[in-house]
Amino acid sequence: MKGLFILLLFISWFTSINAQVILVPRWDVRTCVPTGITKPETKIGQSADIQPDIALYGWKKISPKQIRTDIKFTIKKLKKKHFDINWEGREKEIISGLNNIAEIQESISLDSFLTRLKAVISTIDDGHTRIVSAKLKRNKSGFKCVMVDEETILLRLPNFTSRWKLKRTLRKFKILKKNPKINRIIIDIRGNLVGYSNLVQDFLENTMTKDFQLFEWTKIKRKNSALEIPVNLVRRIQKYKREGDYFVKRGKLVKVKNQNHIEHKYLLVDSTIISGAMLATYHLKKDGYLVLGSDPSSLFNTFGNNTAVVLPRSGFYLYIATSRLIVDENSKHRNDDMLHCDYPLINGQIPVGLIENPANK
């Protein structure tokens, strides 16, 4: 009798599992989520400089001596690691602002210290240098490539750092694109925080219809001696040439092959995208994609790479721009005005008119 009861339980469990596997939800082409499911607000990917840090450390204090230690450390790292702290002629203003914080003569809360540091660090405004209370976390889940309907592919990419997840997703994308019925592509990179340029290039090779140059040139700070070059940069430096105080590398032209022409192409973005996602947006917009959503935050105005250091006393994370990448020598000095959306999303949905007739701009 007991064995029969256990068998019935097993059959019930097995049936429920199979039912979950067999069930395939219908997709809504406008919301890009399965029907009957409410799309949650995108919280991941909030920019580091607008993440709410208030009241995280309100009860903790930092002493004047500890403040001076952190400020000295911050100035040293900025001068050593930043590609050019004076890139807009504001080095003296930045260093002076940090030294003013070091003159505090009484203990203050960590919240207050972080607020003061942000006010100074944000003036560097190079697109990557920022200070936050905790290490930035990338969104590792959510890679998706599905058929929304018989003629629409939805490609969802939460970051450009998870190499194997990205490659598997793009492999499926390439297979689905071969279907002659495909006439619409929707790429969703909302909340995409970080990215590596080589993975952005892999992505663009699978989505662009025209040959492209990922960047015109990029530069990093030239060291006084080869011995000062960090180990992880040695191989990269071999591909650079010396120009004054910098190592400069020219971008190569990428030949796009075997790309089927898709008539209707959409890219979904939001104000939080930075780094590789912004670079991808720049190129896809030039390739004819309609960019839908909200404009990237104006603080993130250049492309490049960064590295993180931890302040010894407060434990705050200081992200420092180590290189600057110029996508086009004819482009503006700053990229604030380069990435504007063509249309907003209406209550998180693609406007009806664009789905019915995308040519109506």
Rounded Cα distance between 342 and 204, Å, is: 20
In a domain, 335, yes or no: yes
In a domain, 331, yes or no: yes
User: Do the strands 61-62 and 108-109 form a parallel or antiparallel pair, or are they unpaired?
Assistant: antiparallel
pLDDT exceeds cutoff 90 at 330: no
In a domain, 35, yes or no: no
In a domain, 161, yes or no: yes
Predicted TM-score (pTM) of this structure: 0.71
pLDDT in tens, 169-207: 999 999 998 888 888 999 999 988 777 888 998 999 999
CATH of the domain at 255: 3.90.226.10
Q: What is the mean pLDDT of residues 259-284?
A: 84
The more confidently predicted of residues 18 and 199 is 199
Residue numbers of the domain that contains 270: 144-303+322-345
The more confidently predicted of residues 29 and 255 is 255
Q: Comparing 43-57, 131-145, 325-339, which segment has the lowest mean pLDDT?
A: 43-57
Q: Comparing 183-187, 311-315, 357-361, which segment has the lowest mean pLDDT?
A: 357-361
- Mean residue pLDDT of the chain comes to 75
In a domain, 249, yes or no: yes
pLDDT exceeds cutoff 80 at 50: no
Say how many domains are in the chain: 1
In a domain, 18, yes or no: no
Task: Supply the pLDDT for residue 231.
Answer: 39
In a domain, 247, yes or no: yes
The more confidently predicted of residues 51 and 254 is 254
CA angle 54, 55, 58 (to 5 degrees): 130
In a domain, 178, yes or no: yes
